[in-house]
Structure 1
Amino acid sequence: MIKGNLLNVFTGEIYPAEISTENGLIKCVKPVQENFKDVILPGFIDAHIHIESSMLSPSRFAEVVVPHGTTSVVSDPHEIANVMGTRGIEYMIKDAASVPLNVYLTASSCVPATPFETSGSVIDAQEVDKLLDRDDMVALGEIMNFPGVLADDEEVLAKIASAKRHRKPIDGHAPLLSGEALCKYIAAGISTDHECTTREEVIEKRKLGMKVMLRQGSSARNLEDLIIAGGDFIVSDDKHPEDLIKGHVDLMLREAIDYGLDPVEAVKMVTINPATHYNLNNGLIAPGRVADLVVVDDLEKLNVREVYIKGELIARDNKILFSVKPLELESTFKLNPKTSADFEIPSKNREETVRVIQVIEGQLITGESEAILGVDEGSIQPDLEEDILKIAVVERYGHDRVSNGFIHGFRLEDGAIATSVAHDSHNIVVVSTNTEDMACAVNRLVENNGGLVATSGGKFNSLKLPIAGLMSSESASDVSVKLKVLQGKVKEMGCKLNSPFMTLSFMALLVIPKLKISDMGLFDGEKFQFVDVIK
């Protein structure tokens, strides 16, 4: 029997009640005449997250988020799917099954995300149909290839049709899409979007019937700017371990309330709203519902006291009451050692005007600028005084391809940083002041079977992520400590970005405008076509 002040997210009322459970379900909810301090809420649901971006295996992810009141997540495993295909998805399912957290998956729709990059696998419409036939697949994962929808691409439309046949919702990904193009995208059957960066976007999409997810992740933090425009869910999308230790959905709720959102409405956005949308049998404290419950001290502080999943107490006072033993995975790297020559951009002129990726702090979108750079010994040189650095994407699935460009915003004074967490195909992305350190960073990263690397003055700092080059089997606290040391080193190298590796990981995400880079070349995300580095 669980007693406390119950928040009824269906009616918005708060009243003292006792809750009985049986076989993992809520048996009965009875109002009582007693005085309580604590408040009982439905278990929190993060309706859109990529677990891989936490750099933790699903079981390690559960270990850190469950004490914060998260009882369910809706996760699109397209990160590991882009590396390993359905074998990667099976890994996520098996590892998640070892812990109490409800991990609902969506069938990854964009593997690869675009035809303009090399991934480790392809999941076609037939494979998507098989995935959607599974009960643990609650939706079709975000349709990042919105140009494919607008162009009536047969493969994209076949995946959408499959979701409709299975009567499962279709998640969207439509940054800056507006007007007739947005109407066509929604008319295809796509019902959510988590890529809004302006209030005008939120308002337009909601007026057209789209459910908007307000995002508060480690890199993209849009909640404060957008909450006044309304929204349907609060989600994290991508969250690093050091941030998860501070809080997950509970922290997002506190922030939403601090920004002026009514506490009851905020709780609805992480309980009944996503549960209803994804047809989950939780998100509401009522008979017959799964007994996923969170006990907090009050509705504003939201300090989590106890967490129940399927009626079982599985966390109390920020400590889990279950064991964690992550599964291991084989190496996924197939490439030859690199040399400085692989990162040269040749020119026969004395100087060149080049396109430059413009980093925007706190945003996934980038800008485009240009710079006039000098040429030395037939190679275009970076301009450290103007913060024009070199960036490259190294393909890691056996084709041995390297694409080079220039970037502004990292402010490295020397050395290089590299990552194998590089949305969405997860090739290696490296930024540097020079080609020698680029080669050293990439080679060390491969030796580590993936992860994050910083090198300067011949010394290395690393965070190993041997699970598909994306995740660690270590705890969030251990990963966080190593990441903190690594980020401290990057700051010593001159970088001022809050999350340099998270920012770097999105420089290859072609479906987010404006200028990005893949292993095939520099890419204009608005025109959805390659452009030359040299103008």
Structure 2
Amino acid sequence: MIKGNILNVFTREIYPAEIKIESGIISCVKKIKGDFEGIIIPGLIDAHIHIESSMLTPAFFAQAVVPHGTVGVVADPHEIANVMGIEGIDYMIEDSSTIPLRFFYTAPSCVPATSFETSGAAISPQIIESLMQKDEIVALGEMMNFPGVIHDDPEVLKKIEIAHKHHKPVDGHAPLLSGVDICKYASVGISTDHECSTLEEAREKKELGMKIMIREGSSAQNLESLWKVGGEFLVSDDKDLEDLLKGHMDILIKKSIKLGMDPFKAIQMATINPANHYSLPMGAISPGRLADFIKVDNLENFNVQEVYIGGKLVARNGKSLFKANSASLKSSFNFTPKKPSDFNIFSPGSKARVRVIQVEDGQIITHESQADLEIKGGILIPDLTSDVLKISLIERYGGNKMSNAFVKGFGIKEGALASSVAHDSHNIVVVGSHEDYMSRAVELVRKNGGGLSATSKESEKIFQLPIAGLMTNQPGKKAIFHLKELQGLVKDMGCILESPFMTLSFLALLVIPELKISDQGLFDGNKFQLVDVIKEIIF
């Protein structure tokens, strides 16, 4: 039995009560009289996250977030599914079964995300059918192929139909979709969206009955723009390791309240709302639900003091009270080493106008800009004075394909960054000031079986990701030491981005506008087609 001031998410009240627990389930909640410190609230739930983006395995992820009050997550494993298919999904489910955090998964709906890229696996409707029969699968994962929905792609609609047959919701992904297109998208029963970036976009989708997930991750940060819309969920989507160790859902609630959101509303968005939507047996301090709750000092500071899962104390004062270990999982990097000349873009003439991927710090949406570049010896030369760098994407699954383009917004003066985390197919993406640095950075990733790398004139470092090229085999607090060493080198190279590797990882995500890169070439996310790097030869 536990006594204290409890927060009731149904009546929006706080009052003294005793909580009776039997076999990890709340059996009774009774009002009492008493003077207690702190507030007991339902444990926090992240309704949409990709565990792999933290670069931690599920077990080590749990060790990092549980002390911050997270007791459950709805995770879409489409990152590892793009690399290893069912084997990767099974790895995530198995690894997450070893620790107390409640992991619920969605079946990846878009593997590969598009036909304009090469992935390591494909998830068919038949595989979706088998996944939907698993207790761990609570929904169909975000339907990124919105053109397929709009144009009645049979395979896309079949996957949605299977989810409905199993009475499981379908998560959405519809950035900037509006008018008749969003009407068509919502009409097939897609119930959520986490890609809104403006109030107008969120309101339009909400008016159609869609539930809005307000996202505050490491690259995409939309809470400040959207908190007034009255969304249904607070989610992190993609959270990098450094940010995750600072906080998880507790940070989102703190920021929401600071912005002006009603505290009860903020807490409902991370407890009862996701629990009800995904039919999770948690989310409230009430009979019949799992005894998963946390104690905070007050609603203003929202400092998590204790965390209970199944009625057992699992974290106190920022420290987890359980051990975590993860099994290994091999990676596949089947491509030949790249020479510096492989990163060149050839063109006739003396000067050409090119398309440039324009990144925006804190956002995963990019823009198309242009640059007039000199051509020397038949090779286009990046313009470092205008921050126009080279970017390349190398396919890792045996086809040995590669494409080159230009990017702006990194601020790198001399050097290169490379990553085997490149949403969603997770090929190798590299940005650099010169092809020599880019070649070295890619080779570091290849020979180490995955990771994040940086190369400069006199130095090179890698943060190894041996599990599918996506995750480390170390706990978060140990891994962060090595990651910060790498980040120090990146800053010395002049990079101006807050989360450079997270931003880099999204430059291959074709389903997010406006201009991205795949192993097949430069991709226009608005037109949903490949486009030429060179717009015109000036002279």
| Aligned 1:181-220 pairs, distance under 5 A | 181-220=181-220
Which residue is equivalent to 1:109? 109
Which residue is equivalent to 1:474? 474
SS at match of 1:507: helix
Which residue is equivalent to 1:96? 96
Which residue is equivalent to 1:284? 284
Which residue is equivalent to 2:533? 533
| Residue identity matched to 1:209 | G
Q: Indicate conservation of the 8 Å contact 1:241/1:477, yes or no.
A: no
Q: Indicate conservation of the 8 Å contact 1:21/1:291, yes or no.
A: yes
| Aligned 1:246-395 pairs, distance under 5 A | 246-395=246-395
Which residue is equivalent to 1:495? 495
Residues 175-205 of structure 1 deviation map (CA, whole Å, 9 limit, x = unaligned): 0001110010000110000000001011111
Q: In 1, distance between residues paired with 2:486 and 2:75?
A: 27
SS at match of 1:291: coil
After alignment, is 385-394 or 453-462 more displaced? Answer: 453-462
- Following superposition, the deviation at residue 133 of structure 1 comes to 1.2
- Following superposition, the deviation at residue 458 of structure 1 comes to 4.3
SS at match of 1:397: coil
| Aligned 1:376-525 pairs, distance under 5 A | 376-525=376-525
Which residue is equivalent to 1:122? 122
Residues 130-166 of structure 1 deviation map (CA, whole Å, 9 limit, x = unaligned): 1011111000000001011001001100100000100
SS at match of 2:453: strand
Percent identity, aligned pairs only, is 59
Q: In 2, distance between residues paired with 1:494 and 1:67?
A: 35
| Aligned 1:55-94 pairs, distance under 5 A | 55-94=55-94
Q: In 1, distance between residues paired with 2:275 and 2:90?
A: 24
Q: In 2, distance between residues paired with 1:238 and 1:376?
A: 40
Superposition CA RMSD, Å: 0.8
Q: Indicate conservation of the 8 Å contact 1:202/1:230, yes or no.
A: no
| Residue identity matched to 1:168 | K
Which residue is equivalent to 1:231? 231
- Following superposition, the deviation at residue 212 of structure 1 comes to 0.3
Q: In 1, distance between residues paired with 2:485 and 2:322?
A: 29
| Residue identity matched to 1:272 | I
Q: In 1, distance between residues paired with 2:365 and 2:404?
A: 19
Q: In 1, distance between residues paired with 2:195 and 2:141?
A: 14
- Following superposition, the deviation at residue 228 of structure 1 comes to 1.4
| Residue identity matched to 2:25 | L
Q: In 1, distance between residues paired with 2:242 and 2:353?
A: 40
Q: In 1, distance between residues paired with 2:295 and 2:42?
A: 9
- Following superposition, the deviation at residue 437 of structure 1 comes to 1.2
Q: In 2, distance between residues paired with 1:76 and 1:438?
A: 31
Residues 390-445 of structure 1 deviation map (CA, whole Å, 9 limit, x = unaligned): 00000001111111000010111111100111100000000011111111110111
Q: In 1, distance between residues paired with 2:216 and 2:322?
A: 28
Q: In 2, distance between residues paired with 1:339 and 1:200?
A: 47
Q: Indicate conservation of the 8 Å contact 1:51/1:57, yes or no.
A: yes
For structure 2, the residue ranges without an aligned partner over 5 or more in a row are none
Q: In 2, distance between residues paired with 1:478 and 1:375?
A: 46
SS at match of 1:171: strand
SS at match of 1:93: helix
Q: In 1, distance between residues paired with 2:304 and 2:74?
A: 21
SS at match of 1:523: strand
Residues 55-103 of structure 1 deviation map (CA, whole Å, 9 limit, x = unaligned): 0010000000001110000000000000000100001011111110001
Q: In 1, distance between residues paired with 2:232 and 2:287?
A: 25
Which residue is equivalent to 2:147? 147
SS at match of 2:287: coil
Which residue is equivalent to 1:245? 245
- Following superposition, the deviation at residue 27 of structure 1 comes to 1.0
Q: In 1, distance between residues paired with 2:321 and 2:438?
A: 44
| Residue identity matched to 1:101 | L
Q: In 1, distance between residues paired with 2:290 and 2:353?
A: 61
| Residue identity matched to 1:146 | F
| Residue identity matched to 2:216 | Q
After alignment, is 147-156 or 223-232 more displaced? Answer: 223-232
Matched, 1:157 2:187: no
Q: In 2, distance between residues paired with 1:75 and 1:468?
A: 17
SS at match of 1:412: coil
| TM-score, length of structure 1 as denominator length | 0.99
After alignment, is 269-278 or 335-344 more displaced? Answer: 335-344
| Residue identity matched to 2:95 | D
Q: In 2, distance between residues paired with 1:492 and 1:12?
A: 50
| Residue identity matched to 1:16 | P
- Following superposition, the deviation at residue 276 of structure 1 comes to 0.3
- Following superposition, the deviation at residue 481 of structure 1 comes to 2.0
- Following superposition, the deviation at residue 2 of structure 1 comes to 1.1
- Following superposition, the deviation at residue 25 of structure 1 comes to 0.5
- Following superposition, the deviation at residue 348 of structure 1 comes to 2.0
| TM-score, length of structure 2 as denominator length | 0.98
Q: In 2, distance between residues paired with 1:377 and 1:436?
A: 17
- Following superposition, the deviation at residue 306 of structure 1 comes to 1.1
After alignment, is 388-397 or 434-443 more displaced? Answer: 434-443
Q: Indicate conservation of the 8 Å contact 1:294/1:307, yes or no.
A: yes
Q: Indicate conservation of the 8 Å contact 1:45/1:270, yes or no.
A: yes
SS at match of 2:341: helix
| Residue identity matched to 2:292 | D
Q: In 2, distance between residues paired with 1:271 and 1:475?
A: 27
Q: In 1, distance between residues paired with 2:451 and 2:286?
A: 44
Residues 354-387 of structure 1 deviation map (CA, whole Å, 9 limit, x = unaligned): 1000111111100101111111222111011111
For structure 1, the residue ranges without an aligned partner over 5 or more in a row are none
Which residue is equivalent to 1:27? 27
Residues 97-122 of structure 1 deviation map (CA, whole Å, 9 limit, x = unaligned): 11100010000001000111000100
Q: In 1, distance between residues paired with 2:319 and 2:113?
A: 38
SS at match of 1:289: coil
Q: In 2, distance between residues paired with 1:300 and 1:72?
A: 23
- Following superposition, the deviation at residue 331 of structure 1 comes to 2.2
- Following superposition, the deviation at residue 498 of structure 1 comes to 0.4
Q: In 2, distance between residues paired with 1:414 and 1:320?
A: 41
| Residue identity matched to 1:406 | F
Q: In 1, distance between residues paired with 2:25 and 2:302?
A: 24
Residues 197-244 of structure 1 deviation map (CA, whole Å, 9 limit, x = unaligned): 001011111111100000110111110111012211000000111111
| Residue identity matched to 2:86 | T
The count of residues paired between Structure 1 and Structure 2 equals 535
